[in-house]
Amino acid sequence: MTYTSKEHIISSLKKGVRLDGRKPYEFRPVSIVTGTISTAEGSAVVRCGDTEVIAGVKMAIGKPYPDRPNSGTLSVNAELLPISNPAFESGPPSTVSIELARVIDRGVRESKTIDESALCVTPGEAVWMVNVDLCPLNTDGNLIDVGALAAIAALKNTRFPKYEGGQVDYKTKTDKQLPVGIIPIPVTIVKVGDVILVDPTADEFEVADARLTVTTEEDGTICSLQKGGEAPLSLDEVGQMIDLATAQAKELRAILVKAL
Amino acid sequence: MSSDLKYEKRHDGRDWLETRPIEAKAGVIKKADGSGYFKIGKTEAYAAVYGPREMHPKFLQNPKGGVLRCNYNMMPFSGAGERVRPGPSRRSKEISMVTDKSLVPVVNLDDFPNAVVDVYIELPQTDAGSRCAGICAAAIALADAGIQMKDMVAAISVGKVGDKLMVDLDYEEEAWGEHSGLVADIPVAMVPSTGEITLLQMDGKITKEDLLKAIEQARPVFEKIAEVQRQAIKDKFARWARGEE
């Protein structure tokens, strides 16, 4: 982004104006569609303004870790696909994409969204390994929040493939669903100068001095945090951001539950 | 599917020269300079064009004209079987290269020395024919980006299953060859107005006569696909004229 457009965004924000006309604490409209990808065991597409993320779940049988012989595995991966934004380049995963995947992964893991013992087939021998891949098709900011909604919706949409005689039959889906329990919802709040915003666009993300992603469970318990950006935050600001994120998470949770 | 050596009827009831249902759109990627979507059966491709923009790394710059650079990628959950590992593979690099060569003959980048036109192709789900769908989406995206082109490029697989010549083999028909040994899968890209062939690959076995016949009899199919691609561009600008974009 050019220096002038940065200045323009910042000076507008100081006057309380966002370039897309939203209020500081206003989320863009969110839509969730599940079961769009026939080759995946579970899938979802989430749109939020001009951001659009496809999440797909693939399952495979593997050997459990020696120290946890009764547990399957769940991992969330993300790639900043260069198709989705001119700023992304081909090549090995950038730190931004690794952070994106890890923040969502941590939220899902720490809230024990999936009971990993339910993924065990034969203790010590065979367990289900669940991979959630997040692929942004359009990127206009706020990939963490949108990606997490897509990941949860795809997990909820997942059906186990048939497993017989040591072989996974990917063509035959069973009725068995993944045991999705607690649903974590991350909300990212950014600070530009003294202004605090939710659901930043790509441009707003770029001018932000600091950001905080707060992941909460339904009862308001915080299950993961990630501060980003160069500017420090005061404890008061952290408190304010947590309140905002918790309130926003309630609305997103309602949209998610309605879509499932 | 039966393992008889004769393939009497297509398993989904299509005629031999009938493609699966096709859907095409332009302007699907908001931040791109041009974009396209092409779906054929359960195979789905998105393409976005970025550029002309400065070429990096610099040693790849061509002072005589712009460079077309295509990148084909399957999303990790897009395969019929196990998860596809993210990142480039030998297969995806080769397909990126042949995609590039299938489109280069129709684009004119002479006015953009040292620049690159990046084409990113992503496949969310596949059921055979993914490189052809990618090429079709990419051609829409290039036209949508306003890149000077002589014509569309339309792509579809032609081939032979058992003793029958046909177009647009799906995964099940390709797999039929594994036990019969009687399948030829031939992805072809064509410049419809001239009939020039810009992509030609094959898996399987076929005679020269059958190969030429399979391509020749598919000529109207290429023209039909090109018409769907052109219509996608027209639809986008019609939406745009109505103020919907």
pLDDT in tens, B97-139: 999 999 999 999 999 999 999 999 999 999 999 999 999 999 9
pLDDT of B88 higher than 60: yes
Cβ pair A133:B77 closer than 8 A: yes
Per DSSP, helices labelled H in B166-218 are: 171-180, 208-217
Q: In the block, which residue shows the tokens 């019929």?
A: B80
pLDDT of B4 higher than 60: no
pLDDT of A12 higher than 90: yes
Q: State the CB neighbour count (10 A cutoff) for residue A165.
A: 5
From chain B, which residues contact A within 8 Å (Cβ)?
28-32, 42, 46-48, 50, 53, 71, 73, 75-83, 86-88, 118, 120-122, 124-127
| Separation CA A211–CA A229 (nearest Å) | 6
**Contact predicate B66/B109, CB 8 Å:** yes
Tell me, what's the pLDDT at B5?
A: 60
Pair of tokens at residue B215: 């391509």
Q: Which residues partner with A224 through β-bridges?
A: A215
Domains in chain B, ordered, with CATH? Answer: 22-241 (3.30.230.70)
In A, minimum Cα distance to B35 occurs at A83
Which of A28, A83, A171 to probe by mutation at the B interface, max B CB count within 10 Å?
A83
CATH superfamily assigned to domain A18-182+249-259? GHMP Kinase, N-terminal domain (3.30.230.70)
> Per-residue pLDDT averaged across B25-45, rounded?
97
Share of chain B above pLDDT 90, in %: 87
Cβ pair B75:A57 closer than 8 A: no
* CA dihedral of residues A14, A16, A21, A23 (deg, nearest 10): 130
Pair of tokens at residue B73: 């990628």
pLDDT in tens, A60-91: 999 999 999 999 999 999 999 999 999 998 88
Q: Residue A82: its chain B contacts at CB < 8 A?
A: 50, 71, 118, 120
The whole model's pTM is what?
Answer: 0.95
> Per-residue pLDDT averaged across B71-98, rounded?
96
pLDDT in tens, B6-15: 788 999 999 9
**Contact predicate B122/B145, CB 8 Å:** no
**Contact predicate A96/A202, CB 8 Å:** no
| Separation CA A69–CA B89 (nearest Å) | 32
pLDDT in tens, B218-241: 999 999 999 999 999 999 999 999
Categorize the per-residue pLDDT at B2 as very low, low, confident or very high, splitting at 50, 70 and 90.
Answer: very low
State the ipTM, two decimals. Answer: 0.94
In terms of residues, how long is chain A?
260
Cβ pair B127:A54 closer than 8 A: no
Q: Closest Cα of chain A to B184: distance in Å?
A: 23
| Separation CA B125–CA A37 (nearest Å) | 6
Tell me, what's the pLDDT at B1?
A: 41
Tell me, what's the pLDDT at A173?
A: 92
- Lowest-confidence pick of A162-166, B92-96, B186-190: A162-166
In A, minimum Cα distance to B71 occurs at A90
**DSSP percent split of chain A into helix, strand, coil, nearest 5:** 30, 35, 35
The full set of domain ranges for chain A reads: 18-182+249-259
Q: Residue B122: its chain A contacts at CB < 8 A?
A: 81, 83, 135, 137
